[in-house]
């Protein structure tokens, strides 16, 4: 009877996924278009020179939107922003497309490793590591590209093949430069520090803006101005034993794809940990699932999706969570995050609220709500009973 009573769960969740797929796809395209447009405008207009670098090396920050895309939507998205912004400039090219082509190489060399490392583990440490590795990759590629592509091409394009002309341009900056040591001075005293300095600027802006723009970057097509008590109800269920609670959790887990944040709301002893154990079982977690009341967070990596289980009951403030670093694990794309007693004011990802209300010694009512619905629904219009 239990299987028959909850057999419609899987179909309902799949139906919801189909309905939201188009919305999420449109949201992705909108975000990509926005970030590409911003990157293109930065590429065209936001650039400047510094007196201690060669005059034709422009400080520009157009990789910033690509990094934001890479961190929030994945490495491929970040690389696409780099490619699209340069393709948009092709009709305006004054370098026979060579400048834009080299900028594609440099941009991908920066964005791809940075976003790949951050995707592996979304925390401050890996974001910083990714940006450092990206900086080193871009700088290395820049040295190679300038030595074998850019300078030889520009000497032919702008100086008619007269190499001494470009040497003369840099003589005021590097006193001892000549034809024989040009690349030594230009690459090691110019290109190398220039690109490191430029990447530090872009990395700093990424750190400063990513969290502030997080809601927009992770927007999934829903309104960003929902009230606290708004939400879309999946369904309501009543279970009469821990076995039925386990079965309901397993059915619900079948709809999870990664990136979901599940907020468990209920009093002490309501059954939050029991429900989490059912999720873990359905995800294939082999480890024993225990309450993270004292550890704050338990991580289980043996299932088809990693399970991050947090209990914030003993946490005094949101700042403490950031200091401990546990907030960085919330909303990982390859994981399901379950939070009891949530104290984070800003959450990014597909948020599902599960309100658990004891109706008796073993009876429990479960209300599933999508979006950021903070207020438990105390008087449901209907409930579906799960019986043995």
In whole angstroms, what is the distance from residue 256 CA to residue 13 CA? 9
Q: Where are the alpha helices (DSSP H) in the chain?
A: 2-5, 7-45, 63-73, 75-89, 98-120, 124-145, 151-159, 163-169, 182-185, 192-210, 214-217, 242-253, 272-283, 318-324
What mean pLDDT comes out for the span 293-311? 90
Which pLDDT value is given to residue 300?
93
In a domain, 113, yes or no: yes
For 254, 272, 279, 358, 382, the CA distances from 237, given in Å and listed in that order, are 17, 15, 16, 12, 9
With a cut of 90, say whether residue 61 has pLDDT above it.
yes
In a domain, 109, yes or no: yes
What CATH number corresponds to the domain at position 96? 1.10.1760.20
Tell me, yes or no, whether 203 and 282 share the same domain.
no
With a cut of 60, say whether residue 223 has pLDDT above it.
no
Which pLDDT value is given to residue 382?
40
What mean pLDDT comes out for the span 339-362? 84
With a cut of 70, say whether residue 5 has pLDDT above it.
no
% of the chain with per-residue pLDDT over 70: 85
Which pLDDT value is given to residue 252?
86
Tell me, yes or no, whether 366 and 242 share the same domain.
yes
In whole angstroms, what is the distance from residue 335 CA to residue 279 CA? 12
User: Among the ranges 56-65, 112-121, 216-225, which has the highest mean pLDDT value?
Assistant: 56-65
For residue range 81-126, list pLDDT tens digits in order. 999 999 999 999 989 899 999 999 999 999 999 999 998 877 788 9
Tell me, yes or no, whether 96 and 157 share the same domain.
yes
The band of 257, judged by pLDDT with boundaries at 50, 70 and 90, is confident
The band of 318, judged by pLDDT with boundaries at 50, 70 and 90, is confident
In whole angstroms, what is the distance from residue 154 CA to residue 31 CA? 36
Tell me, yes or no, whether 139 and 197 share the same domain.
yes
% of the chain with per-residue pLDDT over 90: 48
In a domain, 85, yes or no: yes
Tokens standing for residue 148 = 């074998």
Tell me, yes or no, whether 17 and 65 share the same domain.
yes
Which pLDDT value is given to residue 313?
83
In whole angstroms, what is the distance from residue 77 CA to residue 44 CA? 21
Tell me, yes or no, whether 185 and 280 share the same domain.
no
With a cut of 90, say whether residue 178 has pLDDT above it.
yes
Tell me which residue has tokens 């060579």.
98
Which pLDDT value is given to residue 24?
58
Tokens standing for residue 134 = 């990206």
What mean pLDDT comes out for the span 292-301? 88
In whole angstroms, what is the distance from residue 113 CA to residue 279 CA? 33
In a domain, 90, yes or no: yes
Tell me, yes or no, whether 52 and 154 share the same domain.
yes
Sequential DSSP letters for 33-93: HHHHHHHHHHHHH-EE--TTS-TT--EE-THHHHHHHHHHH-HHHHHHHHHHHHHHHGGG-
Tell me, yes or no, whether 155 and 246 share the same domain.
no
With a cut of 80, say whether residue 180 has pLDDT above it.
yes
For the chain, how many structural domains are there in total? 2
Q: Phi then psi for 72, rounded to 5 degrees?
A: -95, -30
Least confident of 179-183, 327-331, 342-346: 327-331
Which pLDDT value is given to residue 11?
46
In a domain, 222, yes or no: no
In a domain, 225, yes or no: no
Average pLDDT, the chain: 84
Tell me, yes or no, whether 203 and 260 share the same domain.
no
Tell me, yes or no, whether 212 and 356 share the same domain.
no
Which of 167, 194, 217 marks a domain boundary? 217
In a domain, 343, yes or no: yes
With a cut of 80, say whether residue 336 has pLDDT above it.
yes
What CATH number corresponds to the domain at position 295? 3.40.50.300
Q: Which residues contact 91 (CB under 8 A, 6 or more apart)?
A: none
In a domain, 284, yes or no: yes
Tell me, yes or no, whether 160 and 261 share the same domain.
no
In whole angstroms, what is the distance from residue 386 CA to residue 245 CA? 9
Which of 152, 183, 217 marks a domain boundary? 217
Least confident of 19-28, 108-117, 133-142, 279-288: 19-28
With a cut of 90, say whether residue 2 has pLDDT above it.
no
Q: At what angle do helices 7-45 and 75-89 cross, to 10 degrees?
A: 40
Which pLDDT value is given to residue 153?
94
Domain membership of residue 89 as a residue range: 12-217
With a cut of 90, say whether residue 385 has pLDDT above it.
no
Which pLDDT value is given to residue 291?
86
The larger pLDDT score, comparing residue 76 to residue 121, is at: 76
Tell me, yes or no, whether 262 and 210 share the same domain.
no
Which pLDDT value is given to residue 386?
42
């Amino acid at each position: 009877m239990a299987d028959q009573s909850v057999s419609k769960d899987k179909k309902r969740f799949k139906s919801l996924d189909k309905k939201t797929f188009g919305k999420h796809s449109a949201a992705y395209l909108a975000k990509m278009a926005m970030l590409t447009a911003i990157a293109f405008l930065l590429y065209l207009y936001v650039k400047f020179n510094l007196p201690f670098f060669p005059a034709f090396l422009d400080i520009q920050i157009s990789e910033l939107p690509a990094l934001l895309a890479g961190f929030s939507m994945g490495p491929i998205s970040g690389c696409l922003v780099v490619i699209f912004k340069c393709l948009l400039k092709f009709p305006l090219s004054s370098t026979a497309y060579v400048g834009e082509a080299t900028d594609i190489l440099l941009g991908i060399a920066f964005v791809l490793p940075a976003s790949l490392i951050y995707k592996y583990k979304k925390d401050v440490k890996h974001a910083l590591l990714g940006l450092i590795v990206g900086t080193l990759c871009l700088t290395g590629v820049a040295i190679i590209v300038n030595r074998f592509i850019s300078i030889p091409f520009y000497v032919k394009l702008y100086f008619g093949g007269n190499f001494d002309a470009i040497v003369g341009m840099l003589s005021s900056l590097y006193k001892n430069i000549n034809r024989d040591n040009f690349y030594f001075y230009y690459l090691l005293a110019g290109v190398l520090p220039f690109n490191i300095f430029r990447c530090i600027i872009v990395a700093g802006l990424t750190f400063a803006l990513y969290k502030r723009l997080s809601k927009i970057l992770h927007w999934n097509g829903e309104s960003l101005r929902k009230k606290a008590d708004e939400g879309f109800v999946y369904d309501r269920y009543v279970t009469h034993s821990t076995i039925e609670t386990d079965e309901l959790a397993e059915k619900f887990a079948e709809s999870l794809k990664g990136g979901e944040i599940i907020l468990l709301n209920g009093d002490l002893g309501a059954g939050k940990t029991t429900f989490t154990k059912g999720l873990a079982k359905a995800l294939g977690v082999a480890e024993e699932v225990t309450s993270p009341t004292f550890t704050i967070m338990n991580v289980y990596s043996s299932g088809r999706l990693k399970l991050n289980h947090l209990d914030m009951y003993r946490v005094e403030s949101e700042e403490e969570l950031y200091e401990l670093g546990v907030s960085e694990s919330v909303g990982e794309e390859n994981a399901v995050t379950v939070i009891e007693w949530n104290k984070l004011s800003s959450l990014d990802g597909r948020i599902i609220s599960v309100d658990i209300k004891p109706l008796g010694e073993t009876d429990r009512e479960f209300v599933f709500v999508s979006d950021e619905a903070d207020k438990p629904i105390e008087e449901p219009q209907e409930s579906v009973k799960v019986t043995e």
